[in-house]
Amino acid sequence: MRKNKSVLLSTPYILWMLVFTLIPLGVVGYYALTDPESGAFTLSNLKDLGMYLPVLGQSVLYSLASALICLILGYPVAYYIAHRGPVAQKILYMLVMLPMCMSFLLRTLAWVGLLQDTGIINNLLEAIGIGRLQLIRTPGAVILGMVYNYLPYMILPLYATLVKLDHRLIEAAEDLGCTPAKTFMKVILPLSVPGIFSGITMVFVPAVSTFYISQKLGGTDTVLIGDLIERLFKQGDNPNLGAALSLVLMALVFVCTGIMNRFGGDEEGGVIV
Amino acid sequence: MKKTNRILTILIFIFLYIPMAVLIVASFNTGKDITNFEGFTLNQYAELFRDEDLLRLLGNSVLIALLATGVSVAFGTVAAVGIHSLKPKMRKVVMSLTNIPMTNPDIVTGVSLSLLFVFVGSGMLGQRESLNFWTLLIAHVTFGLPYVILNVMPKLQQMDGSLTDAAMDLGCTPVQAFFKVILYEILPGIVSGGIMTFTMSLDDFVISYFVTGSQFVTLPVEIYTYTKKPIQNKVYAMFTLLFLLIFVLMVAMNLLQLRAGRKRETMRSVSRGGIIFRRCVAGLVAACLLVGCGFLIFGNKQERITLNVKNWGMNMADGSDGTLDIVKAFEEKYPHIKVNMSYYESNEALYSQLSNGGITVDVIIPSDYMIDRMIQSNMLLELNFDNIENFKYVDEQFKNPAYDPENKYSVPYTWGTVGILYNTKHVDEADLTGWDLLWNEDYAGKILMIDNSRDAFGIAQYLLGYSINTTDKAELDACAQKLAEQKPLVQQYVMDQIYTIMENEEAWIAPYYAGDCMLMMEENEDLAFFLPQEQGFNLFTDAMCIPTCCQEKEAAELFINFLTDPEISGANMDYICYGSPISAAREHMEDYLATSEIVYPSEEVLAKGTAYAYLSEEITRYVEGLYQEATKLNAFG
C-alpha cells in the first residue's frame, strides 16, 4: 500500500524529464532533418557533415589529450589529498572545488592576459632576456585551457575512489613483500579504475563540446565542433545544420561514455560531495 | 614518492589559482589592461556599487540560482523517494533518463531546450516571447534535478528500511515518517545536491546562453558579451568580491559539517544539533523559495514600459568620457519608459537572432543591405512617421534610399566607411598600397580579419576588382579562395574583440568600421586609419527599424524620434565618431570630429565608395556557406 503510493511520487519527475530532455532531443532531430528555408524534409544537412569530420576529429583529439593530462596531473593530487588527516582533506577538497564555482569565462580570459604576445608571461620572458614566445593561439593553449578548467572534475572522482580504498589491502600487499611501486601497480591502480574512467568522462564531455576556450585561446586553425554549432545558431542563421552537428556531437559523446562505463563498471551516481 | 607528490600538489594548486590571482590584482589596477599594472586603486569597487546594470544582472543570477535550487531540491527529493520504491528494472530506466542531462554536452542541452521552447512557444502557442524568465528557470531546474537525485539516491539506499517501518508501527503516518525519519537520514545528500545545483546554476553560461531571451539576462551570459568588448575593471572587482563570498561560505559549510559529523559520531541518534541543523536547512530552502517568489511578485512590479533596444556594441553614447548618456537622457524625458539595451556583433548575427525567434525586440539598427533583406523577409514593421517628426531634419540624400525606396521602414542613424586600422609603430607606410595589406606576409600573425561574411567578401571583391554585389558564383568562389589564402596570416577573426587586441598591440592591422577605428585611435595614439580609395571601399548606412517581434511600437517610435533630434544626434556622434545623416547635427559635434576626414570624407573620396545591396536568399546563404568553409574549415586548403 505505502509502496504503491510513493511510486506515484516519481511520476511528475519522469514526466518532467521526458518533456524537457527527451522531447527536446526529438526537436533537434526534427530540425536536423528539415530545410532551413522551406521547412521541408531533407537529408542535405546530414550529407554536409562529411566536411565537418576534420573539425570533429580535432575536437576529439584535443579533449582526449586534455583528459589524459588531467589524469596524469590529477592522480597524484587526489592520492595526496586522500592520505591527509580529515581536516586537511576537507580544506584541500574545498580548495579544489572553489575554482569550479567562479566564473569560468573570466578565468579563461585571465589566461589570455597571461599567454598573449603582449601578455604577462611574455613580458616576463622578455625582461629576463629569453624573448617572446608564441604561446597563445596554439593547440597547446587550447589544451591548457581545457586542462585548467576541467582538472577539478578529474581530481574529485579520483579522490572519492581513493579515499574509500581499504587500507588493509595495501598493508597486506606490503606484508606479502610488494615494493611500493608494485603495490601501486597491483593494488591501488586497479582499485581506482572506476574513478579514473569517471574522471576521464567528466573531463572529456565538457572539453569536446566547448566553444569559449577555443575562441579565446585558440587561433584560426583550432576551430572545434562547439565553435561551429555556436556560430550556426547565433550568427550563421542555419539552426538546421547546427542541429545536425549537435546530433553528431551527442552521438559521439554517448558512444564514448558508453565505452567508459563498460570499463568503469556502471556505478549509480558517480557524483559525490 | 610522498615528497614529489606534495610538490606536485602544491604546483597544481598554484596552477589552479594563478588566473584568479591575475583577476584579483586586475581589480585594483588603475590601468585598463589586465597585463599592465599601473597603480593601485579601490575605485573599481566604488564604480561597481554605482553600476545598477551590473548589480541587477548579479541579482538576476542569484534569483535564478535560488529558485532553481529550491525547486530542484523539493522536487528532486520527493522524486528520489518515489524512484527508490520503484521496481529495480524501472528504476534503472529512470536513472538513465536522469543521466541524460548529466552526460549530454551542455551545448546540446542548451540548443535542444531553446529549439523546444521556440518550437512550442512561438510555433505552436503563438507566444511573442517564448524565451523568457520561466524557460530559463525550467532549463536550470532540468539540469539541477539530476544533481539532487544522484546525491539523494545513495543516501536512500544506505538507509535502513526498517526505520520507516518502526516509525509507522509507532503510529506515524507515511508523511510524518518522511519528515521525522527519512528526511533526517537523507539530509546530507539533499544538502550537497542543493549546493551543487546552486553553484552550477549561478555560474552556468552555456545552457543559459542558448535559452536566454532579451528581457531577463544572467550575469555569465552578459559577461560573455562583455569579454568581446573591452572588459571593464569593475567586473574584476565583482569577481573578487564573489570569490571572497564563496570562500567564506565554503569554509563555514565545512566547519558546520565537521561539527555535525563529530556530534553524530558521539551520539548516533537524532541529536539536538541534528534537529537544529535540519531545521536550518529546511529554513534555508524555504527562504530560497520565499525570497525568489518575493522578487518575482514585487521586483517585477514595474509601472514603466520596457523598451528593448538591440544595437551594435559601442554604438551609442553612454555617458563615459564626458559624453551624453543618451539612454538616461531619454528616460528622463520619458519617465514611463525604461530602456533595456542588448547587443549584436554583426548584421548576420542580428538576423539570426531575430529569425530564430523567441525574443522581443523593439528597436534595431541594422545596415542597409540587411534592412532590405529584412523587408523582403517580412521582419520589419512600417513606421508611423507622425510619431517621428524629427525625420524632417534628415538630409534629403538619406531619404528614400535604395534599401528602403519608399522610406516606410527605416530612419537613418549613422553612415560611415570601412577601412583599415593599423599601428604606425609596426607597419611601414610604404606597405599601405590597398586591401592587399591584409594579405601581406610580412605581417603574418599580426593581422585581424573582420568576422562576418558580407564585409569579408566585400574586401576580397574590392581586391579582386569584382562588384561587391556580384551574384556570379565563379567570382564568389574566387573570393572564398582568396580568403582561404589569407587564413594562415590571420591572427584571429574578430568583431567587437578588436578593441582590446588593437589597443594593447597584440595585432597591428585590422579592417573595421571608421567610427570604431576613431574610438580606438583615441585610446592608442599609434593607431591610424587608412582608406584604400583606389580599389574602392564600402560606404554604409545604419538605420533604425522596428522588427515584427516589437511589443512597444509607440515607445520605439519615440526613441527613434529622440535619436533623430539634431542636438541628440550630434552628442551621440561625439561618442561613437560616425557621420550623422542630419546636417544640423554636425554643428553640435565637437570640432575635431566635424572636420575629421575620417568621419566626413570629402565628396571626391565618397564617390569611390560603394554600398552593399541585398542579393537574394540563395546567394546570401551561398556566401555564408563559403565563408564558413574558407575561414573555419580549411575546405579550400
Residues B538-595: tens digit of each pLDDT? 999 999 999 999 999 999 999 999 999 999 999 999 999 999 999 999 999 999 999 9
Residue B339 dihedral angles phi and psi, to the nearest 5°: -90, 130
The closest CB to that of A111, out of B19, B105, B210, belongs to B19
Write down the pLDDT at residue B187: 87
B88-97, B295-304, B615-624: segment of lowest average pLDDT: B295-304
B192 vs A: CB within 8 A:
yes
The DSSP annotation for A37-80 comes to TT--B-SHHHHGGGGGHHHHHHHHHHHHHHHHHHHHHHHHHHHH
- Least CA distance to A117: which residue of chain B? B506
The verdict on B485 and B365 lying in the same domain is no
Mean of the pLDDT values across residues A135-149?
96
Write down the pLDDT at residue B279: 67
Write down the pLDDT at residue B85: 86
The verdict on B312 and B373 lying in the same domain is yes
Provide the CATH number for the domain around residue B147: 1.10.3720.10
The Cα A196–Cα A190 span in angstroms is 10
B141-155, B297-311, B380-394, B622-636: segment of lowest average pLDDT: B297-311
Write down the pLDDT at residue A271: 41
- On the question of pLDDT at B52 being above 60, the answer is yes
Task: State how far the alpha carbon of B473 is from the alpha carbons of A44, A250, B479, B622, B626, in Å.
Answer: 20, 35, 10, 9, 10
Write down the pLDDT at residue B37: 87
Q: Residue A125: which residues within 8 A CB-CB, separation 6 or more?
A: A131, A132, A133
Please state the separation of Cα B178 from the chain's center in Å: 44
What is the Cα Rg of chain B in Å? 29
Provide the CATH number for the domain around residue B321: 3.40.190.10
The Cα B91–Cα A108 span in angstroms is 40
- Least CA distance to A16: which residue of chain B? B142
The verdict on B10 and B103 lying in the same domain is no
Write down the pLDDT at residue A264: 62
pLDDT band for A170, please (50, 70, 90 cuts): confident
Contacts A55 to B, Cβ<8 Å: 632-633
Mean pLDDT of chain B: 90
Question: Which B residues in the span 424-443 are in contact with A, Cβ-Cβ below 8 Å?
Answer: none
The closest CB to that of A246, out of B111, B348, B452, belongs to B111
The closest CB to that of B85, out of A7, A30, A272, belongs to A7
The verdict on B328 and B451 lying in the same domain is no
Q: A2-6, B154-158, B382-386: which has the highest mean pLDDT?
A: B382-386
What does the DSSP 8-state code read for residue B120? I
The Cα B132–Cα B213 span in angstroms is 5
Write down the pLDDT at residue B35: 83
pLDDT, greater one: B609 or A35 = B609
Q: Which residues of A216-252 are buried (b: 16+ CB within 10 A; e: fewer)?
A: bbbbbebbbbbbbbbbbbbbbbbbbbbbbbbbbbbeb
Write down the pLDDT at residue B418: 97
- On the question of pLDDT at B530 being above 80, the answer is yes
The Cα A199–Cα A194 span in angstroms is 8
Q: Is B604 among the domain residues?
A: no
Range of the domain at A128: 53-264
pLDDT band for B268, please (50, 70, 90 cuts): very low
Are B78 and A9 within 8 A, CB to CB?
Answer: yes
Mean of the pLDDT values across residues B247-252?
86
Are B6 and A97 within 8 A, CB to CB?
Answer: no
% of chain B exceeding 70 in pLDDT = 94
Q: Is A212 among the domain residues?
A: yes
Are B242 and A102 within 8 A, CB to CB?
Answer: yes
Are A90 and B254 within 8 A, CB to CB?
Answer: yes
On the CB side of A92, CA atoms within 13 Å amount to: 21
Q: A86-90, B221-225, B531-535: which has the highest mean pLDDT?
A: B531-535
Write down the pLDDT at residue A261: 77
Beta strand pairing call for B537-544 and B609-610: parallel
**Closest approach of chain B CAs to the CA of A58, in angstroms?**
11
pLDDT, greater one: B182 or B521 = B521
pTM: 0.91
The Cα B557–Cα B476 span in angstroms is 39
pLDDT band for A1, please (50, 70, 90 cuts): very low
- Least CA distance to A137: which residue of chain B? B491
What is the Cα Rg of chain A in Å? 23
Q: Residue B634: which residues within 8 A CB-CB, separation 6 or more?
A: A54, A221, B484, B487
Write down the pLDDT at residue A71: 96
Write down the pLDDT at residue B491: 94
Q: Is B576 among the domain residues?
A: no
- Least CA distance to B20: which residue of chain A? A107
Instruction: Give the number of other Cβ atoms within 10 Å of residue B90's Cβ.
Output: 13
Domain count across chain A: 1
Provide the CATH number for the domain around residue A127: 1.10.3720.10
The verdict on B30 and B107 lying in the same domain is no
Nearest partner of B312 among B571, B492, B186, B495, judged by Cα: B495
B94 vs A: CB within 8 A:
yes
**Closest approach of chain A CAs to the CA of B174, in angstroms?**
7
pLDDT, greater one: B185 or B451 = B451
Contacts A30 to B, Cβ<8 Å: 119
Grid cell, residue B469, equals: 554585389
Q: Is A255 among the domain residues?
A: yes
A166-170, B103-107, B226-230: segment of lowest average pLDDT: B226-230
Are B205 and A227 within 8 A, CB to CB?
Answer: no
**Closest approach of chain B CAs to the CA of A17, in angstroms?**
7
The Cα B508–Cα B502 span in angstroms is 6
Write down the pLDDT at residue A7: 76
Q: Is A23 among the domain residues?
A: no
Q: Is B31 among the domain residues?
A: yes
Mean of the pLDDT values across residues A191-216?
92
Total beta-carbon pairs less than 8 A apart between chain A and chain B: 310
Q: Is A124 among the domain residues?
A: yes
Write down the pLDDT at residue B636: 64
Domain count across chain B: 4
The verdict on B129 and B17 lying in the same domain is no
B97 vs A: CB within 8 A:
yes
Write down the pLDDT at residue A266: 47
Write down the pLDDT at residue B330: 96
The verdict on B138 and B283 lying in the same domain is yes
pLDDT band for B260, please (50, 70, 90 cuts): confident
The verdict on B276 and B331 lying in the same domain is no
Write down the pLDDT at residue A5: 67
Q: Is A108 among the domain residues?
A: yes
Are A24 and B113 within 8 A, CB to CB?
Answer: yes
- On the question of pLDDT at A265 being above 70, the answer is no
Mean of the pLDDT values across residues B1-25?
91
Write down the pLDDT at residue A237: 79
- On the question of pLDDT at B599 being above 80, the answer is yes
The closest CB to that of B239, out of A10, A77, A103, belongs to A103
Contact B117, B44 (CB under 8 A): no
Contact A201, B473 (CB under 8 A): no
- On the question of pLDDT at B149 being above 80, the answer is yes
The verdict on B159 and B284 lying in the same domain is yes
Q: Is B471 among the domain residues?
A: yes
pLDDT in tens, B326-350: 999 999 999 999 999 888 989 999 9
Mean of the pLDDT values across residues A107-122?
93
Q: Is B125 among the domain residues?
A: yes
- On the question of pLDDT at B54 being above 70, the answer is yes
Write down the pLDDT at residue B490: 95
Grid cell, residue B83, equals: 524512484
Write down the pLDDT at residue A269: 42
The verdict on B160 and B93 lying in the same domain is yes
B232 vs A: CB within 8 A:
no
Range of the domain at B552: 305-413+544-566
Question: Which residue of B35, B100, B107 to mutate against A (max A Cβ within 10 Å)?
Answer: B107
What does the DSSP 8-state code read for residue A119? S
Are A18 and B97 within 8 A, CB to CB?
Answer: yes
**Closest approach of chain B CAs to the CA of A15, in angstroms?**
10
Write down the pLDDT at residue B273: 55
The Cα B529–Cα B414 span in angstroms is 19
Are A51 and B633 within 8 A, CB to CB?
Answer: yes
Q: Is A89 among the domain residues?
A: yes
Mean of the pLDDT values across residues B77-81?
92
Are A271 and B35 within 8 A, CB to CB?
Answer: no
Q: Is B430 among the domain residues?
A: yes
pLDDT band for A268, please (50, 70, 90 cuts): very low
pLDDT band for B109, please (50, 70, 90 cuts): very high
Q: Is B58 among the domain residues?
A: no
Q: Which residue has the cell 528504476?
A: B91
Are B634 and A54 within 8 A, CB to CB?
Answer: yes
Mean of the pLDDT values across residues B355-363?
90
pLDDT band for B264, please (50, 70, 90 cuts): low
Q: Is A16 among the domain residues?
A: no
Contact A212, A108 (CB under 8 A): yes
